[in-house]
Amino acid sequence: MSILVNKFTRVLVQGITGKEGSFHATQCKAYGTQVVAGVTPGKAGQEVEGIPVFNTVRDAVQKTQCDTSLIFVPPAFAADAILEAADAGIRLIVCITEGIPVNDMVRVKRALRDRDVRLIGPNCPGIITADECKIGIMPGFIHKKGRVGVISRSGTLTYEAVNQLTTLGLGETTCIGIGGDPIIGTGYVDLLAMFEKDPETEAVVMIGEIGGDAEEKAAAFIKQDIRKPVIGFIAGITAPPGRRMGHAGAIITGGKGMAAEKMAVLEDAGVIVVRNTAEIGKTAQDALSPRGSV
């Protein structure tokens, strides 16, 4: 088991003929993902590594029964692409694009609210179920099927954590990058709930950072509803207030969103908070060891 995606997931890549789109579509396919279609308006009839290209998502859905979309469309057109996928009946949309205007996402998030569709991202590395299905830009080889679920607002920092889990032999079930933007499709809470129900996931690593109050919301939920061990890491204890640290959403404003505060709230909710980036894997290992045998 895993959450959201597995070897049966049928993937469409929007923006497949672009440089990023074609490279990553090929990489995902090589990982074993069923990449069944691509969309670039005006390029129907072409193929990318044997993947048929369509003009519209509607056509792609009709011809290939794809159910999940991976988006590499440039920022100015990404909102359109997400809405097109939702309208064509795609159930899971993974948007990699960085730099989408926030107000575009305001409209998109509102439009998706009443639909039976889930958006992951934008500005994220994607989602991967180890050894089954990679829908994103993460390096596949660091993942290994195993016991830990990973949820993160970051990219390379997630790879760092995953690599530690794999090296220690723990492995992962599903890893999701939820995105570094202020407005994202899916937050920690929904995914924590899914991991709690997934029989193969024994613990969850959640990687947060400064800015917003998503970790605080997650903490409240964990306190109430999560029984499995949760290992938390928050990046940005040294980040100054009022400055955007790379990610559009990583900014301390009006004294809110500080790392120390988030760590304290998570700890209060029973999350095992790691201070040292290098010890995320080790902490997960300790949490999964039977009592007294550490």
Partner 1 sequence: MNIHEFQAKQLFAQFGIPVPIGREIKTLLAAEKWAAKLNAPVYVVKAQIHAGGRGKAGGVKLTKNGAEVPALAKELLGRTLVTHQTGPKGRKVRRLLIEEGAGIAKELYLSLLLDRDSGWPVFIASTEGGMEIEEVAAKSPEKVLKEPIDPAVGYQGYNGRNLAYGLGLPALEPTIMGPFITMLGNLYRLFMEKNASLIEINPLVITQDKKLMALDGKVSIDDNALFKHPDFQAMRDLHEEEPLEIEATNNNLNYVKLDGNIGCMVNGAGLAMATMDVIKLAGSEPANFLDVGGGATKETVAAGFRILLKDRNVKGIFINIFGGIVRCERIAHGVIESAKEVAIKIPVVVRLQGTNAEEGRKLLQESGLKIEAATDLWEAAQKIVALTGKKRKKVEATAS
247 an active-site residue?
A: yes
Residue 63 near residue 37, CB atoms below 8 Å: yes
Quick one: tokens of 222?
């964990």
Quick one: tokens of 66?
């794809």
Residue 205 near residue 286, CB atoms below 8 Å: no
Q: Of 24, 29, 118, 247, which one is the catalytic site residue?
A: 247
Q: Nearer Cβ to partner 1, position 60 or 137?
A: 137
CA end-to-end distance (rounded Å), the chain: 27
Angle at 76 between CA 75 and CA 82, to 5 degrees: 70
Q: Nearer Cβ to partner 1, position 278 or 294?
A: 278
17: number of CA atoms within 13 Å, CB side? 13
Q: Under rule CB under 8 A, how many of the chain's residues touch partner 1?
A: 65
Quick one: tokens of 101?
């205007």
Residue 8 CB coordination number (10 Å): 9
Q: Which of 139, 168, 196, 264 binds partner 1 (CB under 8 A)?
A: 139
Per the omega criterion (within 30 degrees of 0), is the bond before 75 cis? no
Q: Is 260 near partner 1 (CB under 8 A)?
A: no
Amino acid making up residue 203: A
Q: Nearer Cβ to partner 1, position 70 or 239?
A: 239
List of residues 6+ apart from 22 with CB closer than 8 A: 16, 48, 49
Q: Is 144 near partner 1 (CB under 8 A)?
A: no
Q: Nearer Cβ to partner 1, position 37 or 79?
A: 79
Q: What gap in Å lies between CA 118 and CA 190, rounded to an integer?
A: 10
Q: Is 183 near partner 1 (CB under 8 A)?
A: yes
Least distance CB 61 / partner 1 (angstroms): 25
Interacting positions 29-68 with partner 1 (CB under 8 A): none
Q: Is 21 near partner 1 (CB under 8 A)?
A: no
Least distance CB 271 / partner 1 (angstroms): 17
Q: Is 134 near partner 1 (CB under 8 A)?
A: no
Determine phi and psi for 112, rounding to 5 degrees. Answer: -80, -15
Q: Is 255 near partner 1 (CB under 8 A)?
A: yes
Interacting positions 78-117 with partner 1 (CB under 8 A): 99-107, 109-111
Contact residues toward partner 1 (CB under 8 A) are: 23, 75-76, 99-107, 109-111, 137-139, 141-142, 152-160, 163, 180, 182-183, 187, 207, 209-210, 212-214, 217, 233, 235-240, 242-250, 254-255, 259, 275-279
Query: Which residues are identified as catalytic?
Result: 247
